[in-house]
Amino acid sequence: MDRMAWQGQGMTRQADGPPEWRGAARGALGAGGGAAGGADAAGDAPAADAAAGLAGGAAGHGEARPHGAAQVLLDLQHISLSFGGVKALTDISFDVREHEIRAIIGPNGAGKSSMLNVINGVYHPQQGRIVFRGEERRRMHPTAAARQGIARTFQNIALFKGMTVLDNIMTGRNTRVRSGLLANALWWGPARREEMEHRRKVEEVIDFLEIQAIRKTPVGRLPYGLQKRVELARALAAEPSLLLLDEPMAGMNVEEKQDMCRFILDVNRQFGTTIVLIEHDMGVVMDISDRVVVLDYGKKIGDGTPGEVKSSPEVIRAYLGAAH
């Protein structure tokens, strides 16, 4: 488990003081603004600082919004999940409120991806309850979760590399196909209207994520950062109410990260989409999330606003553990 590597990505330790969490200045990520704002705000800052945003700006995306009053969309209660002898998650409880950006953070192997896989039905926990939209969810297949409005992106990009951007994004509409096989095969009446509706929606997403220029390019030929954006596009094409993002900015350069942050915030603001975000870059997490849950060795060790979490002694200890 490489804890120190994780720290290097956003949390630095001052010589004789507590760790400093470098939050991205809200303006730098275009709080409702555009890419130009982001580029300008980053200015001539050294790349490392720009990646984490501008030091000292960790206002926290959510602190300006009254999420306390929002309804609970997803409630996870006492979730435990093991793989043979490996306890990936132990008695984890937290909720996700409507329209918030909820971050899950933690060192490598903490159980973050496993948690997303529980939420969208890939893994079935041995213990615990999952309540979605007020109803307890029984054992559920990922396609059923998708039909309920849960979409996701993956830690390792999962796209059809030989297919074009447009066709990949179209696969995001699969769970919304209504007309039958025969009607589709005959390209008849309702099927035709439906196909046009799918295409219209996909074009909307393409415009929204500013990827018009690559719509006919095979995904495998795109640089990594753009592939990540296409994966987000595919998830958005499903018009999800709950969007699960597993390290959407991993491996990106500074500019790509800023773009991705802006898109995530825009999706949240413009469509009201609730977002659960796993991210290692603490500057990003502190800046764009409303609330943060912290996992360590499969256990929850922190839960609260970015401000609360970053000053929690237990969280600080977990991240500095390897140094002591």
Ligand X SMILES: Nc1ncnc2c1ncn2[C@@H]1O[C@H](COP(=O)(O)OP(=O)(O)OP(=O)(O)O)[C@@H](O)[C@H]1O
Residue 62 interacting with ligand X (CB under 6 A): no
Q: Which of 7, 113, 117, 175 binds Mg ion (CB under 5 A)?
A: 113
Residue 106 interacting with ligand X (CB under 6 A): yes
Residue 112 interacting with ligand X (CB under 6 A): yes
To 10 degrees, the CA torsion angle through 287, 244, 254, 50?
10
Closest to 182 (Cα-Cα) out of 191, 173, 169, 172: 191
The site that binds ligand X (CB under 6 A) totals a number of residues, namely: 12
Coil/strand/helix, residue 287: helix
Residue 110 interacting with ligand X (CB under 6 A): yes
User: How far is 233 from 263, CA to CA, in rounded Å?
Assistant: 10
Site string for ligand X, 65-84 (x = CB under 6 A): ------------------x-
Nearer to ligand X, 110 or 206 (CB): 110
Residue 258 interacting with ligand X (CB under 6 A): no
Q: Which of 64, 72, 108, 216 binds ligand X (CB under 6 A)?
A: 108
b/e sequence 145-162, b meaning 16+ C-beta within 10 Å: bbebbbbbbbeeeebeee
Distance of closest approach, residue 205 Cβ to ligand X, in angstroms: 27
Considering only the stretches 7-15, 64-72, 106-114, 211-219, report the one whose residues sit in contact with ligand X under the rule CB under 6 A: 106-114
Nearer to Mg ion, 112 or 300 (CB): 112
What length is written for the chain? Answer: 324
Residue 113 interacting with ligand X (CB under 6 A): yes
Closest to 143 (Cα-Cα) out of 118, 171, 120, 119: 120
> How far is CA 30 from each of CA 38, 205, 212, 222, 223, rounded to the nearest angstrom?
5, 19, 21, 25, 23
| Beta-bridge partners for 295 | 300
Nearer to Mg ion, 198 or 247 (CB): 247
Query: Which residues of the chain form contacts with ligand X (CB under 6 A)?
Result: 83, 86, 88, 106, 108-114, 155
